[in-house]
Structure 1
Amino acid sequence: MDNTTLLTRGDNVYNKKRGRKQRQEEIVFDKAQRQEFLTGFHKRKVERQKHAQAVAEKQQREDKRQMRKMIRQQRKQQLQERIEASRKLLGAEDTSNSEDEDSDNVTAETEDKVVIENDDEPRTREYEEDDKHVSVIIQEDDGEQSQNEEELADGIHTPQTDPPPSVPIRPHKQKQKKNRFRYESKEERRMSERKSKIKKLKHAVRRRH
């Protein structure tokens, strides 16, 4: 190897490296891809529309899910409010029922007193003689009782005898009282209904006896 070759050896290596760096890439022209690009506008447009439709459907499903979640929360809240209202109503009904029971006890006591006080009602006696049936109604009178007490106090006693069975006696007709119309409360209506029931029951028992 001569001296010239040795001195230019480094230069040759540098030129080779520089040539590789500055080398231009080769452009390959593909006719098929060019044809697809030129004729694929409609295809790409359809693909974009499908992609947009898929995104819209996904968003719609998400909106529906959020709406259902909101409706469930509202229904749950309404149910809770109804439960609270029904609890309050049941508490109020329990209080009113206890008050009604107390009032019923009071009315029952007053009705018992009324029944005891109404024991002085007319009594009926029946006599039978010679195929004759006579019914006599005996009614106590406070005036006669007070008169008898006064006669006993004065030393005068007039014995009272029952009328003979052969003499028919007309039953005593009581004067009909005029009906006065007035508005009654709830407790008064209950008391009047119970009084009428008790009176009917008494009449039924007397008819049986």
Structure 2
Amino acid sequence: MVAKSNREILTGGKSYKQKAAKKFGADEVKFDKDSRLEYLTGFHKRKLDRQKKAKEFIQEQERKARLEERAKIRADKKKALEKQLEDFKQAMKDVGDYVGVEDDDEEAENGKQGSDEEAEEWTGFSDDNGDATEEEEEDSDSVSVKPILKKYVQTYLDDTTVDIEPLEPNDNFEYLAELNNVKLEKSEQILDQSIERAKKYAKFLGVEEKSGNKSKKNKKFRYLTKNERRQNQRKANNNKRRK
């Protein structure tokens, strides 16, 4: 038996060559003029197709980028609005005028409790006939609240009477204030609180305090005229002569 060569061992020899020829080779080569003409004259057409596809791809990418940018802008606006709302609520809480959902619930509960207590404490009408008249209610209101300002009635010639309340306080001002449950010693404190509250409102609305010291305007520079220069030179010469 003849020993196989290295080529036959590594490549399979003749059988490998035959298989390779069948696999990669062509049994028949046919020349097509139309295909050749289309290939030779189709460079520009294929170039335009590539440019069109690239343009469509770029437009699609730009459209997606615009959509992402819009979504990002909407998210940023939403966050800014939420932050602004939180700042507004915090500012209103600092001022003391914020009424939120929790406060509404508390007020509703307090109102419900108050109505229950009133229902328990109410014992019925005082009169046998029913409701009290409007005149009696007005009299009771006038008795419960004492007027702090001076009040007098002026009668005219045609018997017309007018109740006048000037802005001057009554002589027994402190006594009447005590009857009306008004504490005068807290007036300064309430005034300071009102001023502080007004300052917070102004700060919240962005009103800045105007500085009283206005900057002085600089004098505008200008060149001297010919006559002014002559006068200045004449004055300087006269001063030299005097010395």
Give the TM-score, by structure 1 length: 0.37
Give the TM-score, by structure 2 length: 0.32
